[in-house]
Amino acid sequence: MSELLRISDLKVHYPIRSGFFNRVTDHVLAVDGVDFIIEKGKTYGLVGESGSGKSTTGKAIVGLEKTTAGEIIYNGHDVTKPSVRKKIDYNKDVQMIFQDSMSSLNPKKRIIDVIAEPIRNFERLSDQEEKQKVKKLLDIVGMPDDALYKYPHEFSGGQRQRIGVARAVATNPKLIIADEPVSALDLSVQAQVLNFMKRIQEEFGLSYLFISHDLGVVKHMCDNIAIMYKGRFVEIGSREDIYNNPQHIYTKRLLSAIPRIDVPNRDKHMEVRRQVELEYQEKQSSHYDSNGRVFDLSNISDTHQVALKNGGEA
């Protein structure tokens, strides 16, 4: 095992202000104690419903969100501190791709400048060298050279996501956090972009943290998957653990929600879905503690952890 990044007891709490004096009256526990390890060259999925804390986790890792508690260890350094991130060029090694490339790519900049921007922060290249490098990056994501001098609005959503991928790999990073990178795209285009990402991973040997609300999308990408609910992990395991042997009712619920095109078995799928939903509603209280908080994780195998009451004992 070759560890790249380790997250321990990470918490991000946002203050809620209210009243006449605008005092902090409460906190949103967006991320409330998560642990995981990212290994070199592997792909991880972070899956959960809207508001479960996925983006906040991703942003905390790249340093876009301040952490409330916990550690993020990269090459032996705790990168929750901005000064440490700067000292070890962390922002070169860890990049993020966002769902909505229309707002994340600067509309006033030409593609050559969009892609070269992160390079300029870390390397001194001549104009000619820089142009060569950006051309190569465009080529890697299957875009023609004449894209260089165009603007983001001149491309389709799928092309823009590919440009986002080219920009993210420009600094030759070790880890890319991809926050719903294909959610806004048509199914056929989703597959294309995912294939490029897969190929780039093989070429550069990088790790991905892939954020999605849909267990169907990450299935073919991820080696390991964490299922997130209300800022905590309800289950974490290998792809096989999660898809073939899900333990937490919330995981089962996400699995039953994967859209299927299997027409002959449609009635059967609907029945499974109904059963899971019924079990979920009926046994709410036994899946979460009295405050609705997810239990601590316990091991059920070397690769598989689940958050069950009393560690799963009856």
If the CB atoms of residues 138 and 185 are measured against ligand ATP, the closer one turns out to be 185
If the CB atoms of residues 28 and 84 are measured against ligand ATP, the closer one turns out to be 28
Nearest approach, Cβ of residue 230 and ligand ATP (Å): 9
If the CB atoms of residues 63 and 118 are measured against ligand ATP, the closer one turns out to be 63
If the CB atoms of residues 48 and 164 are measured against ligand ATP, the closer one turns out to be 48
55 lies in the site for ligand ATP, by CB under 6 A: yes
Kindly write out the interface string for residues 34-53 of this chain, putting x where it contacts ligand ATP by CB under 6 A and - elsewhere: --------------x-xxxx
**What is the 3-state secondary structure of 58-124?**
HHHHHCCCCCCEEEEEECCEECCCHHHHHHCCHHHHEEEECCCHHHHCCCCCCHHHHHHHHHHHHCC
61 lies in the site for ligand ATP, by CB under 6 A: no
Kindly write out the interface string for residues 189-218 of this chain, putting x where it contacts ligand ATP by CB under 6 A and - elsewhere: ------------------------x-----
Kindly write out the interface string for residues 42-61 of this chain, putting x where it contacts Mg ion by CB under 5 A and - elsewhere: -------------x------
If the CB atoms of residues 130 and 179 are measured against ligand ATP, the closer one turns out to be 179
Count the site residues for ligand ATP by CB under 6 A: 12
Nearest approach, Cβ of residue 3 and Mg ion (Å): 26
Residues that bind ligand ATP (CB under 6 A): 14, 28, 30, 48, 50-56, 213
